[in-house]
Structure 1
Amino acid sequence: MGNISNEERELREIENLEREDVEKAGVDVEDASGVAPWRQQITVRGVITSIFIGLIYSVIVMKLNLTTGLVPNLNVSIALLGFVFIKLWTKILEKANIVSTPFTRQENTIIQTCAVACYSASYGGGFGSYLLGLNRKTYERVGGTSTPGNTSDTKEPGIGWMTGFLFVTYFVGLTTLIPFRKMMIIDAKLPYPTGNATGVLINGFHTPKGNVMAKKQVKGFMRFFSFSLLWSFFQWFYTGGDHCGFAQFPTFGLKPWRNTFYFDFSMTYVGTGMICSHLVNLSLLFGAVVSWGIMWPLIRVLKGNWFPESLPESSMKSLNGYKIFISIALILGDGLYNFIKVIYFSALNFQACVKKGNHITASVTYDNQDQNQNQTPDDLTRNDFFIKESVPTWLACAGYVVLTVISINVIPLIFPQVKWYFVVVAYLLAPILGFCNAYGTGLTDMNMAYNYGKVALFILAALGGKSDGVVAGLVACGIIKSLASTSSDLMQDMKTGHLTLTSPRSMLVAQAIGTGIGCVVAPLVFFIFYHSFDVGNPDGEYKAPYVIIYRNMAILGVEGFSALPNHCLKFCYGFFAFAVLVNLLRDWNPKNIGKWVPLPMAMAVPFVVGAYFAVDMCVGSLVVFVWSKMKCKEAALMVPAVASGLICGDGIWVLPSAVLAWFKVRPPICMSFVANK
């Protein structure tokens, strides 16, 4: 027994506590009588912690947004960090003989809600898609004529107008679905998998078992956070030129390296791959092989036949055009299929709930199997508390009307190309689209806000015409996407609050605080990247792939198929059909075939970005697979903490590296690789 390691001893302690929990499983533990009033659930230390975590994750998410456009679900790691920071806070005060108020799961939930709302603006605010797609560089990269003084199709990034646009679009989404929260959470019993998992996790933290688990996770997080930060610092010294450093290491040889197949030693992508499912990571790799391994080398050979030799590869009438429009076809095929599927099954499920009241439990999947479950005393306690702490409907309606009037007046001032009646139509549709998105997210955990935004993009781009269509389409996409996404995020958090007996009133206030901070922080973080790095450059580190994709979607809405390069339309038809067919195949046999069918939305990203980050993320999946085979219980406990540490360490390095770049401090060494002649 004396040879047992500390890790094994800690795992055995957790197992013993789990046995105690199982023995007590028949005892109902929920008691709303001891829950603090909603105003006391929002604490000063909780808000400070939320802001700190929100700032850190805003930088991390912005980096992911401007490199690959893929951002994993970070709710679990934020709930963990919130628990860790407050525990450290109380321990420091305890050593100083200062009595602090007990840390409750309600406060933990408020911290998680506020921090997630803060960083959401960095991801969903359009900095890597529709807003950045308005700038002059993107306009020229997609083939626009650089005529001095021609600004009708462009709008340069600015902290002022970006902050104002976020405020008038994001806050409206907080008010749209408040009247429907009881129907979605209690009556329809929508599972909201992310919100449910976060609620269960927070409940687990505030038990003896959860406390022991959290300590072990903190050790893992800090260990890999330090490693990732030091590794990023070490790599910086070797990046003193173009295509230099470990990020350009020709892992599989120089020829695959030229086609972007290499491991770039990015701890951010490895950590992201550990969080994302194996299906997402393998879909990325499959898309990379199809595009950079097969299609682009073959199309490049046809230069001079399919497109003029004089055109650079970055031209939209050259190879880059095939990359962009084929990826758009995959995205649209996948988005349209899932859009129709979610609407159809949501309508069926909603109709069943209306007919049978509380007797039908919403299905988590699309197999339409009802899961009739009896209400436990715990469920009844949570439901009663959730209803008692309701937000007045009149307040939500009044807030929606006031914010809508403000938006109708402000948005046309920011974007003269967007007529006021376009905004009116968008805000009339917003509650319907927000409800559909939140209901579909509750069933499937798929936030379809961008697909709703794409519908608005094509419609208003066509209505706006050649003069105003591109800007109008991109802005309309942003309005609808922001409203639908915020509504869905609020319902996810309401599900978490329902499980942790957190007042919906305090949740709404926390969401509003986080959203307000995020609307200010996100543009500032974006400008750190924008002025320190070459954001949007297809050959640089911060490619922002969705920027060109969204700009070309708007152009496609205005000009039609004439915007496509030669023979590209045939490829688009083929990949659009492929996206629909693989989705049908997955839904036809989800258990046996579906888990191996690639995801078209994930496949589309490496078509534009390259294969290197897909290799990194597959390495993350490989680490999880090997770890799970060797030590299953330890892996299940530690993977989220280790992945978060890798992501945070590499993400934090962005700030000092941006400061060094701002002051023109260059790395001293360039490590590059050339063929032996």
Structure 2
Amino acid sequence: MTLAAYFFPVIFSLPLFGRYLARQWLWTFTPSLSYVGQGIIMGFPTTLSMNLGMLVGWGILSPLSKHKGWAPGPVGDMTSGARGWILWTSLAIMCTDSLVSLGPVIGEVIYTKLLKRAVSLGEDGEHKEDNEIETDERLVPMRWVLWGLGGSITLGTLLVWMVFGNEGIKPWATLLGFVMGGLLSVLGVRALGETDLNPVSGLGKISQLFFAWIQPGNIVANIIAGGVAEAGAQQAGDLMQDLKTGHLIRASPRAQFYGQLIGSSLSIIVTATAYTLYNRAYQIPGPSFPAPTAYVWLGLARLLRDGELPEKSNVFMMAFAIVFALIAAAKTHATLRHRWYAKWIPSGVAFAIGFLNTPSFSLARLVGGFIEYLYYRRVGGQEKGGIKLIIIASGFVLGEGVVSIISLILRTFGIGVASCWGCVPGLCGGCPS
């Protein structure tokens, strides 16, 4: 299906409610099995939150901002169009939801470190218990961690300085960004472990706000520092899940450490090469790769520098921030108390993602989420359903990912689409606008 969509792009850009709404308001449907698989993995409640956000953002706020003249440009324009206008409301929702969700985590960290620590100490100041069950030869020596941490921070600081220079970000500021990234990663890991949500967007924005204070007016420094914090929190969360899985199946932590080192080293070459090839073959940002999150980062950095918001966007940002602060508090409270209805309370981050992306991004995932809901309802829950559905969904994602490499090779060698029949101008990747 992915290969067919390469030669006939309309397959992945179907006008959902006619060509007018597709062309003017970007309402198309992408029946991507990768999107469907991601929806299955995400689950019905999350995809439902995403599509609620999509309906509010693209069905209400986007037309409203256009007709009121607050976003006079083309709807899809991220600077002067409705898509750029609703981006600010999305940013307010993400930051509010992330920060409110982090509150209990921060409180728990403080409580654990400052109060519970006294309980685990004996009169002589030594810890009474050690819960480590691994032998020394299977563990990663602490000196490896310290040397690796110091070396990577030093190398990272030098590389950032070589690429961006003193005008981009000062070496001391980069170093401070790494330190802050490490601290925020602790919060991200705790939040992910307790709520199954890693609030990396909010953590990145915290770092951006901090660097707007210590290096005011420097957009490059702001984005780099925020990127370091968000990437650190994201990777820390992924590693936590990997290492926890290894712990459950009694895998050697040292063997996992070796595997992560090899994978991380190879990924430098793979990702840089892949991005270079994609950048040559496709327009980035463009119809195939709009990169909406990049505009969120750039928009916040510019806001912190200039202090200017699109007309009336501040009113909607404040209103939605208040609403989702209350929703996030209710969801966090219900989650920590293991209430059955917690998963049905809308996720602010998922809701905001529905704003960021065009309807085609969310609708196919809703199909996957609905399949997940029906399947587990029929078999009697996830406990009885096993992982069969997740394996199928992973196959959907993997299949499209592998074939996308073939598509990239075809485009690199100048083999274009077979037909643009049915395509809406400007919405089909690979077709001339």
TM-score scaled by structure 1? 0.56
**Corresponding residue to 1:451 among 187, 202, 206:** 202
1:274/1:413 CA distance change after superposition, 3 Å: same
Corresponding position: 1:247 with 2:12: yes
Is 2:357 the partner of 1:609?
A: yes
Question: Higher RCO, 1 or 2 (CA under 8 Å, sep at least 6)?
Answer: 2
| Correspondence 1:547 to 2:300 | no
Q: Secondary structure at the match of 1:653?
A: helix
| Correspondence for 2:111 among 348, 353, 356 | 348
Q: Contact between 2:89 and 2:316, CA under 8 Å: does it hold in 1?
A: yes
Partner of 2:62: 296
C-alpha deviation, 1:508, in angstroms: 1.4
How far did residue 535 of structure 1 move? 1.9
Letter in 1 for 2:57: S
Structure 2 distance, partners of 1:635, 1:252, is 36
**Residue matched to 2:409:** 659
Within 5 A, what are the aligned runs for 1:130-279?
231-239=1-9, 245-254=10-19, 257-258=22-23, 259-279=25-45
Moved over 6 A (4+): none
Alignment of 1:59-138 (within 5 A): none
The amino acid across from 1:473 in the alignment is N
Distance 1:492 1:355, change over 3 A: farther
Counterpart position of 1:32: none
Aligned to 1:324: 87
Q: Distance in 2 between matches of 1:621 and 1:254?
A: 27
The one-letter code of the counterpart of 2:36 is V
Distance 2:254 2:45 in 1: 38
Preserved CA contact (<8 Å) 1:385 1:501? no
Specify the code of the residue in structure 2 equivalent to 1:550: W
Secondary structure of the structure 1 residue equivalent to 2:134:
helix
- Matched-pair contact (CA < 8 Å) for 2:95–2:201: no
Residue of structure 2 in register with 1:587 after alignment = 332
Q: 1: CA distance between counterparts of 2:152 and 2:370?
A: 48
Seen in structure 2, the aligned counterparts of structure 1 residues 667 and 317 have a Cα distance that, compared at 3 Å, is closer
2:245 corresponds to 1:496: yes
Structure 2 CA distance, aligned partners of 1:333 and 1:444?
A: 16
Q: How far did residue 349 of structure 1 move?
A: 4.2
RMSD after superposition:
2.8
- Taking the aligned partners of 1:588 and 1:295, their CA distance within structure 2 comes to 29
Residues 1:667 and 1:614: Cα distance change in structure 2 (over 3 Å):
same
From 420, 423, 428, the counterpart of 2:171: 420
The separation in 2 between residues aligned to 1:666 and 1:327, in whole angstroms, is 36
Residue number in structure 2 paired with 1:281 = 47
Change (3 A) 1:439 1:351: farther
What is the identity percentage for the equivalent residue pairs of Structure 1 and Structure 2? 23
Deviation for aligned residue 1:407: 3.0
Q: 1:365-444 maps to which residues of 2 (within 5 A)?
A: 383-386=132-135, 389-416=138-165, 417-444=168-195
Structure 1 pair 327–387 and aligned structure 2 pair: CA distance change class (3 A): same
What displacement does 1:299 show?
2.0
**Which residue of structure 1 aligns with residue 429 of structure 2?**
none
1:338-387 deviation digits (Å, cap 9, x = unpaired)? 233321233334456524449xxxxxxxxxxxxxxxx9xxx98xx43255
Cα distance in 1 between the residues matched to 2:78 and 2:178: 37
When residues 486 and 472 of structure 1 are mapped into structure 2, their CA distance, relative to the original with a 3 A threshold, is same
- CA distance in structure 1 between the aligned counterparts of 2:57 and 2:188, rounded to whole angstroms: 32
Partner of 1:147: none
How far did residue 430 of structure 1 move? 4.5
1:347 partner letter: I
Conserved 8 A contact 1:316-1:565: no
The 1:635–1:484 alpha-carbon spacing in structure 2 relative to 1, beyond 3 Å, is: closer
Where 1:465 maps in the other structure, the secondary structure is: coil
TM-score by length of 2: 0.85
User: Number of paired residues?
Assistant: 408
Residue equivalent to 2:374 = 626
Determine whether 1:566 maps to 2:336.
Answer: no
Aligned-residue offset at 1:572 = 1.0
1:551-596: per-residue Cα shift (whole Å, max 9, x none)? 1111112112x2x111111111111112211112223445265332
Number of the residue aligned with 2:428? none
Q: What is the alpha-carbon distance in structure 2 between the residues aligned to residue 301 and residue 673 of structure 1?
A: 26
In 2, distance between residues paired with 1:438 and 1:588? 18
Counterpart among 553, 557, 570 of residue 304 in structure 2: 557
The answer (yes or no) to whether the contact 2:98–2:203 under 8 Å persists in 1 is no
Q: 2:388 aligns with which of 610, 631, 638?
A: 638
Classify 1:482/1:622 alpha carbon distance in 2 versus 1 (closer, same or farther; 3 Å): closer
Give distance in 2, aligned partners of 1:250 and 1:449. 33
Q: Which amino acid aligns with 2:285?
A: G
Deviation sequence 1:116-143 (CA, Å, 0-9, x none) = xxxxxxxxxxxxxxxxxxxxxxxxxxxx
